[in-house]
Chains A and B, each alone.
Chain A
Amino acid sequence: MTTTEQKPDWEEVQASPDFVLLRRRLRRFVFPMAGLFLVWYLLYVLLADYAPGFMSTRLFGNINIGLVFGLLQFVSTFVITMLYVRHANKNLDPVAEKIRNEVESRGEEK
């Protein structure tokens, strides 16, 4: 692992369109998703507190809407995780790979 001679221009890499694209893609996914998720939670809590009648509607047996809603929260957590992993593998990793190649080849030139 040689290190001393490789000094990529950090500012330049930071400003490169690829890096900006990478960060934008990541941010565009992460923050709206987290927001969506917290709102989805809030919806459950709000319904539970202000529409208990709706939440205790029986579906079958002892199962009511509240219970189903609660279990759905698990499912949605998992779905979002899968979406993210797919997004990262498809849209983030290739760009990251490209930056890496550029930085390394530039390092070799110097």
Chain B
Amino acid sequence: MGNVGNVWAVVAIALVAVATFSLGYRGSRHASTTQDFLVARRTVRSRRNAAAVSGEYLSAASFLGVAGLVLKDGVDALWYPIGFTAGYLALMLFVAAPLRRSGAYTLPDFVEARLSSRPLRRVSTAFVLVIGVLYLVPQMQGAGLTLGMVLHTPGWVGALLVAVIVVVNVFGGGMRAITVVQAFQYWLKLFAISTPVFVMCAVFIGSGGTHGGESRGLAEPLPPTFSAPTSIDVTTPVTLRVVEPVWLSAEGRVDGGSARGPVFWGPGTHEVDADTKLMFPGGAPVPSVAGTPSTNAEWLTPTGGGTSDLWTTYSLIFALFLGTMGLPHVLVRFYTNRDGKSARRTTLHVLLLLGLFYLFPMIMGLLSRLYVPELLVTGKTDAAVLALPGKFLSGTLGEILGAVTAAGAFAAFLSTSSGLLVSVAGVLSTDILKGRVRDFRYAAALAGAVPVVIAVFVRPNDISMSIGMTFAVAASTFCPVLVLGIWWRKLTPAGAGVGMTTGGLCVLGALVATTVSGYTGNWAPWYLQQPALITVPIAFFTMILVSKATQRSVPADVNRFRLRMHAPDPLGFIRDRDVARFGTAEERARLAEGRHRR
């Protein structure tokens, strides 16, 4: 598998890191006040902001995960990119403009301003931290995987490297610097994933669409085949499903007995233990991890699996659709828009940019079914994008293309992690520490360290699946608060608090249950894999019911706040809260007597 050009890839990754650093540094020379750090003075233009939003949003899950899931699950994996994109639609329809007008900086800010409750602010701070950390962990694991493929280092090296680069960069300039970096990284990622696809498509069509005459059409009702003799190291125990009988040779433990030499596998399932080496001859049918489509025809059509598949898919869509609006790093980006109108324009651009990007991982996934089917055996399909170019084209061209994708993947981890870190550190520093620039830096260091530790000790899952769970947390906590807070007059602090906690704890419970069951024999029921379809309605209903029961505590100035959210932007009587919060001493003094709240 170590086919990714080592030297080229190291150079490319180093270039990405240097570019990130220097852009960050250039931007940070102008950054001095806390306001600069947190929302880039709200003067970022909508087109650049859209590139920045997309750059930040296209994480490891999009860059590596989508292609991996297409390789494994086929058409069903389309849901991830569709859901990732559609989340912005929900964000725009329900919250973008009102939220921008509310003048709040972070989610806890919004919650406090709308409901005038300090304890509630704490609750939402806690959930911002949970979501941030949950989202950072797969980024770090993806970085470990990428660096592992390039340099054969253990997983923690990549995780640590990304964390260090990001923390140092955030130290330097905070959000303003990051806006430039994010916009740059969108274009970098698009380049890194589209160039290999264009080159490979050109070669693919040029060679008549076959690869050495060995590969099978993608629509045949048979499994894919190895295009050349392939040896695979199995590092974690795996159950494989075989459709067509196959001869292979194995070293290690297979089907509960030790094996050394030729093995015959008939149709059915076969167990392979850790530290086993499997060698397949060229042209042999590829067995795949049990529970995924094994034949190409099955892979190419959407699932026909009845209720549980219906549930999982729709629940995932639900989580992605409603969860995007609750992601702290996405929301904080929208605060950098000048007004509600430019927030809408930004969304439109974001959708275009995302749709354009997602075409390429999907094509990558299709091609990897033909050229790197060995990933189906180990189940490590997240490596598809990284392994494909080297397999497809031998020689220097393949190595360079491999290096380009590795660099793009690195850009993905860097940008998403930077964004998350800025928002998590922002919340940590203003809510738990004292909100000085120094505190922001401590907070950033802390927020970078925790996910690294988790990433190293928890067994990696499919990147996109872990991300799906994070979206479920966001959809079950902040989505109801935002939607009801903006659209329903009668929301009370108690209702919001109880609803958020209930929804959040339900998802976290499901997450813990599935993680534990992953180590202890997969006992968790299928609906816990993606619980959003239950937990989101639970959160909404709890919030509504408790609010109805506590109607007397509806905040007094709800009307003023609602007018502010739904009326036009630069109302003369509406000041940005941020000046009161973070402005200079004289600005604050000037405003002190005119304050309506707090």
Partner-B contacts on A (CB < 8 A): 1-4, 6, 8, 10-11, 13-14, 19, 22-23, 26-27, 30, 33-34, 37-38, 41-42, 44-50, 52, 55-56, 58, 62, 64, 66-67, 70-71, 73-74, 77-78, 80-82, 84-85, 88-89, 93, 96-97, 99-100, 103-104, 107
Contact = CB atoms under 8 A, between A and B. Distances in A.
A10 B559 CA distance: 6
B345 interface: yes
B259 interface: no
Interface in B528-574: 557, 559-560, 562-563, 566-568, 571-573
B314 interface: yes
Contacts, number: 149
17 contacts: A2-B594, A4-B593, A19-B567, A33-B93, A37-B321, A45-B313, A48-B303, A52-B303, A56-B301, A56-B302, A58-B219, A70-B82, A77-B89, A88-B97, A88-B341, A93-B341, A103-B573
A106 B490 CA distance: 28
A45 B94 contact: no
B566 A52 contact: no
B310 A45 contact: yes
A77 B86 contact: yes
Nearest to A101: B568
Interface of B: 75-76, 78, 81-82, 85-86, 88-90, 92-94, 97, 217-219, 297, 300-306, 309-310, 313-314, 317-318, 321, 341, 344-345, 347-348, 351-352, 355, 358, 487, 557, 559-560, 562-563, 566-568, 571-573, 575, 591, 593-594
A83 B285 CA distance: 48
A55 B573 contact: no
The main secondary structure of chain A at its interface with chain B is: helix
A3 B85 contact: no
B560 A74 contact: no
A3 B591 contact: yes
B560 A10 contact: yes
A8 B557 CA distance: 13
A82 B89 CA distance: 10
B468 to A, nearest CB: 15
B562 A64 contact: no
Given A3-B573, A27-B487, A42-B314, A49 B563 contact: no
A93 B292 CA distance: 50
A79 to B, nearest CB: 10
